[in-house]
Amino acid sequence: MLVPFGFYALSAVAFLMVIALLRYADNSRRLINTWLLAGAVWLIFVTIMSRSGTLADFSLPPRVPLFIVIPAVIAGIIFTGRPSFRSALEKAPLYVPVFFTSFRIIVELLIYGAYRMGIFPERVTFEGLNFDMLVGLSAIPVGYLLLKGKLSRSGLLIWNIAALAVLSLTVYSFVSTYYFSDYTSTGSTDFVKFPYVLLAAVLLPVAVFLHVFSIRQTRSRLG
C-alpha cells in the first residue's frame, strides 16, 4: 500500500539528505562511511527491538522514547559536535538544511494517511495536537529568504528554536497518547512495528538533526 511504502521511501530520502550535507565536509568520505555504518547498525538494533516485542510494552517507562528516540537524538547531537564535522557546518549553505526540513510536509501526510488506516490516533495528526506541518511549510519561504540573503542569522536561529518547540509538542502528542491514556487498550499498537516505527527511529531523529545542524551553523557564523 502507498502509506507503508511511503514510510520506507521517505526514511531512505532522510538518510540521503544527511549524506548530502556531509558531502560539504573536507573529510566527506570518512563521515559518510561512518554515517552509513552507524545507520546500518541502528536499523538492525531497531529491527531487533521491534520484533522482540520490547517496544510493544506500553507500561512505564516509555520504551520507544527511552530506547529509540532519545539515543538517536543524542547521537545526532554528538555527531554534529565533533571537530571532524566542523567543515561541513562551515561550507554547507545555510539554506540547504532549511529546505530539507520541508520533508516534514510528507511526514505529516503519511501520519494522516496512517491515521485513516487506523494505525495512528487522530490526536497525533494535524487534526489533533500535531502542528509540524507548519514547520515543513515554513521551511520553503525561510529557505528562499536565506538563499536571497534576506533573512538574518538571528532570524534563522529563532525559526529553528520555534520549530523544535513545535516538534516537542508533536512528540508529546505521541507519548501522552500511547503511554498516558487508555488508547493502547482499544486502538492499534502497530506504531512500534515496521514501517511505522521508522517515524520514531529515522524521521524524527533526522528532523532534529537538521535543526541541530542549522543551529550550530548559525551560532558559528554569528560568532
pLDDT band, very low/low/confident/very high, at 222 (cuts 50, 70, 90)? low
* Mean pLDDT value across residues 116-131: 96
* CA 121 vs CA 67, 107, 118, 208: distances in Å: 22, 15, 7, 23
Mean pLDDT on 117-125? 96
| Angle separating helix axes 2-22 and 28-52, nearest 10 degrees | 150
Instruction: Say whether 131 sits in a helix, a strand or coil.
Output: coil
Q: What is the pLDDT of residues 10-41, one digit of tens each?
A: 999 999 999 999 999 999 999 999 999 999 99
If you write DSSP's letter for every residue of 95-108 in order, what string do you get?
Answer: HHHHHHGGGHHHHH
The residue whose grid cell reads 502507498 is: 2
pLDDT bucket at 221, cuts 50 / 70 / 90: confident
Residue entry with cell 501526510: 109
In this structure, the number of other CB atoms found within 10 A of the CB of residue 41 comes to 10
pTM: 0.96
Split at pLDDT 50, 70, 90, the class of 1 is: confident
Q: Are 98 and 143 in contact (CB under 8 A)?
A: yes
Residues of the chain above pLDDT 90, percent: 95
For the stretch 170-199, pLDDT in tens is: 999 999 999 999 999 888 999 999 999 999
Cis status, amide bond into 61, omega within 30 of 0: yes
Residue 220 pLDDT: 81
Average the pLDDT over each of 132-136, 165-169, 181-185 and give the range with the smallest value.
181-185
Average pLDDT over residues 64-84: 94
Angle, nearest 10°, between helix axes 204-222 and 70-81?
Answer: 30
